Structure 1
Amino acid sequence: MTTHTNTIYTDVLQARYSLRLSARLSADLDNLPHGVTERLRVARQQAVMQRKKPQTVTRLRRATEIAHNGHTAALHGSDDRMGWAGWLASGLMVLALTMGLMAINSQQNDNRAIEVADLDAVLLTDDLPPEAYADPGFLQYLKAGRDQQSTAH
Structure 2
Amino acid sequence: MEKRIGTQKITPNLWFTMNAEEAINFYMTIFKDGKKGRSSYYGEEGFEIHKIPAGTLMTQEFYLAGQEFLALNGGPYFQFNEAISFVINCDSQEEVDYYWDKLTEGGPAESQMCGWLKDKFGVSWQVVPLELTEMMQTEDKEALSRVTKEVLSSKKLDLNKLRAAYGK
TM category (shorter chain) comes to: under 0.3
The structure with the greater share of residues assigned to strand is 2
TM value normalised by structure 2: 0.19
TM value normalised by structure 1: 0.20
The structure with the greater share of residues assigned to helix is 1
